[in-house]
Amino acid sequence: MERGLSRNTLASYRRDLDRYAEQLTAAGIAELAQVRPKDVTGHLAALRAEGLASSSAARAISAVRGLHRFALRERLVTHDAAAEVRPPSPPKRLPKALDVDQVSRLLAVPAADNPLGLRDRALLEFLYGTGARISEAVGADIDDLDLGEQSAALLRGKGGRTRLVPVGGYARTAVQAYLVRARPTLAEAGRGTPAIFLNARGGRLSRQSAWTVLHRCATVAGLPIDGPYAVSPHTLRHSYATHLLDGGADVRVVQELLGHASVTTTQVYTLVTVERLREVYATSHPRAR
């Protein structure tokens, strides 16, 4: 709470620490002061033995390290048992991004002749048109939108940080159509929630339901929904950033649009564009080989 982390991050850390507590209890350890470095490394080994991905194991150990640092700072223990335990380094993976044609196919799937179809199209256009995280999109309210000539949306990101992002013409048109022709119908079944995106019962659309919308549309569009290149809500965010950089946007501008606290996080997208430059060069230049 002191760090201003999102509810989803807090829930993840809580699950990680609950698992750690269970491991310590099974080992006969009742207090943090009894924990030794070998117990922490044993927990990490158990996580990997369960088949947990290196990225998930790294997050779990980071939560454990944070707990022990906190306990030492609060003088609940006299030593930090996790200080020397390093989380596993996840493999460096490039973000999965769709090309422009694939995005166009995906956005064209929802029907525009019924309330849910209008909502789904508005949701997908909003995600791609603003680079919003799925939690930011479903958490946005009507008052967070300005669909005038200088259209913009106020997004609430990680750590309680807010940012104002432009809303492009396609997204503005889709959202306006949804607000005028579909949202009032959906809202009739609810209790007056201020959310932009509503479910069939008139309540705020959940992250899981929004994921289901994307999954269904990706299937119809012939895009992968399983495996390493499966389309997910974050895929549209990756595509948003990659296409901006492909179009010549400055990485610092993209950082602000994505709401990244550090430009280092944004710079991973430049790797995507370098790979694409290499592909174009390899397929186009007569001396590329």
- 19, 68, 237, 238: the catalytic one is 237
- 105, 158, 207, 216: the catalytic one is 158
Is residue 269 among the annotated active site residues? yes
Is residue 105 among the annotated active site residues? no
Q: Which two three-digit tokens encode residue 281?
A: 């060069």
Q: Locate tokens 């509503």: which residue?
A: 198
Could you give the 3-state DSSP secondary structure of residue 128?
Answer: helix
CA dihedral in degrees (189, 155, 136, 65; nearest 10)? -140
CA distance 127 to 264: 23
Measured CA angle at 276 (ends 273, 278), to 5 deg: 115
Measured in Å, how far apart are the chain's first and last C-alpha atoms?
55
Kindly tell me the sign of the dihedral angle through the C-alpha atoms of 253, 259, 260, 261.
positive
CA distance 102 to 112: 19
Is residue 178 among the annotated active site residues? no
- 215, 216, 234, 276: the catalytic one is 234
Kindly tell me the sign of the dihedral angle through the C-alpha atoms of 240, 245, 248, 252.
positive
CA distance 159 to 262: 13
CA dihedral in degrees (205, 209, 210, 211; nearest 10)? 160
CA distance 62 to 211: 27
Is residue 86 among the annotated active site residues? no
Is residue 133 among the annotated active site residues? yes
Report CA Rg, the chain: 23
Active-site residues: which are they? Answer: 133, 158, 234, 237, 260, 269
